[in-house]
Structure 1
Amino acid sequence: MSDRQKTHAAAAAFDYVEEGMTLGLGSGSTAEIFVRMLGERVRNGLNIKGVPTSDQTADLARDVGIPLLDVDHVDQIAVTIDGADEVDGRFQLIKGGGGRHLREKLIARASDLMVVIVDESKLVSTLGQFPLPVEVDPFGFSITARQIYQALSKAGVSKPDVQLRRKGDGLDPFITDGGNYILDCGCGEIPDASAVDVGLKDLPGVVEHGLFLNMARVVIVGEDHQARVMEL
């Protein structure tokens, strides 16, 4: 059922795609569905260019025939289409379950419009059930982890649980596309996302975190038989 909802959300995102656009191509399962659909439209004559947010997305885009631009050679990104791990009623997001939130945020910030495509399970009243990913420099990461715990506590998170993300084997640390570690922060509930944002940005070991605030202006929610489009 979730795949059907994701497909409906991805299909509805094409209402925001126009001929000649440069598009930010997000990462994750729903964004992957969109990229596959986009490849089909490109093969049918749609003229667009993509800027991928991850190595995995870049590989998929090439496989389905989407022409790509190097991010350092892009003047303007019209629309970024991306998924999310959580979305609240103010269009605040948690992203980074796949470990690509740094590049996703960079591309989204450089875009005129961010469109988020999700299934119904991603909608929440308050962010925090999904662990908040924080990308950190590997140097001194245990020191950074303690400081992240303190920052989250100060911002009102009750008993945060900060854990190093590991690869599937459970032994080695997960490494991001940028060569960094990720600390997954179990928060349960984030009462003040803005306070968390400010607190984490003050820490020297933090590269980026998975809170996307004041960025998404369109959220498309895939339902069983259609998609619901919400705009700010």
Structure 2
Amino acid sequence: MPDIDPAKLAASRAAIELVRDGMRLGLGTGSTASIMVRELAAKVKAEGLSLRCAATSKATAELAESLGLRIETLDQIGWLDLTIDGADEVDSELNLIKGGGGAHLREKIVAMASDRMVVIADPGKVVQQLGAFHLPVEVLAFGFEATQELLRRALDDLGLGGKPVRPRRRGGDLAVTDEGNYILDLALDVIPDAPALARALAAIPGVVEHGLFLGICDMAIIGRADGSTITLGAGGAEEV
């Protein structure tokens, strides 16, 4: 498969080794997650597994169903055994920035409704400190301008004043999420205190959800170009 990133493929294959017959799975969104979904579908077909899957976006649901996976709503399933998803950044404490694909609201709901969340990524997503990747903040259309101003004031209070707050656009128009909301991308460069920022964002009425995933991920599988992986978890890093 010459068009598939070998690092993302290695991480995906390692993650689906965690899948067992009868599991209830959350399927993530993004370029790495799409590789995982394809690998999962092949595993299900080869081994005859029976799985119940909840998707974190319409795009993932459509891909999974086209490959023969059984997709249900999260409410139909009730609770998940495992969610496998990508990330835009992951640090050594397994804190994440997610939402480059604009699905972080559903991704966080699904991850929190799981016994375990496993992240799959390539080495470029591993960072010492979160923040180089823009932080997505999903906001309501109502009061859009006011919410931007409240965000700027919150950043000022945290010593992050002057950092750009950019409405995300697609084809010149404001990007709209699966839930019909807008996204503001915060170009912060570095986040000195992620928990404080998460609390400040959550306190703004127009904010629906942000892309900081703190204390949610249980394991990160980092694939490498040679097909090997490094697993980051509570016990540190383990090479496979």
TM-score between both structures, scaled by the size of structure 2: 0.93
8 Å Cα contact 1:157/1:191 also seen in 2? no
Post-superposition offset of 1:90: 1.0
**Superposition RMSD on alpha carbons, in Å?**
1.3
Contact map agreement 1:21 1:49 (CA 8 A) in 2: yes
Shift of 1:155: 2.5
Q: In the alignment, is residue 165 of structure 1 matched against residue 198 of structure 2?
A: no
Contact 1:156 1:191 in 2 (8 A): no
Point out where structure 1 has 5 or more consecutive residues left out of the alignment: none
In 1: Cα distance, 2:214 partner to 2:18 partner: 21
Compared CA separation, residues 2 and 194, structure 1 to 2 (3 A): farther
Q: Deviations over 1:174-225 (max 9, x none)?
A: 0000000000010011000000000000000000000000000100001122
4+ residue segments displaced more than 4 Å:
none
Q: Does 1:14 align with 2:20?
A: no
Aligned residue pairs total 230
Q: 1:35-114, aligned counterparts within 5 Å?
A: 35-44=37-46, 45-114=48-117
Tell whether the 8 Å contact from 2:137 to 2:211 is kept in structure 1 after alignment.
yes
Question: For each residue in 1:93-141, what CA deviation from the matched residue of structure 2 results, as whole angstroms up to 9, or x when unmatched?
Answer: 0000000000000000000000000000001111111110000001111
Q: State the identity %.
A: 47
What is the deviation of 1:158? 4.9
The alignment's TM-score, normalised by the length of structure 1, stands at: 0.96
Q: Are the aligned partners of 2:94 and 2:233 in contact in 1 as well (CA < 8 Å)?
A: no
Pairing 1:121-136 to 2, within 5 Å after superposition: 121-136=124-139
Q: Higher mean Cα deviation, 137-146 or 153-162? A: 153-162
Letter of the structure 1 residue corresponding to residue 95 of structure 2: Q
User: Is the Cα–Cα contact under 8 Å of residues 136 and 210 in structure 2 kept in the other structure?
Assistant: yes
- Aligned partner of 1:210 in structure 2 is 211
Unpaired segments ≥5 residues, structure 2? 235-240
Q: Distance in 1 between matches of 2:40 and 2:141?
A: 36
2:233 matched residue in structure 1: 231
**Structure 1 residues 2 and 119: CA distance shift in structure 2, 3 A:** farther
- Report the secondary structure of 2:53's partner residue: strand
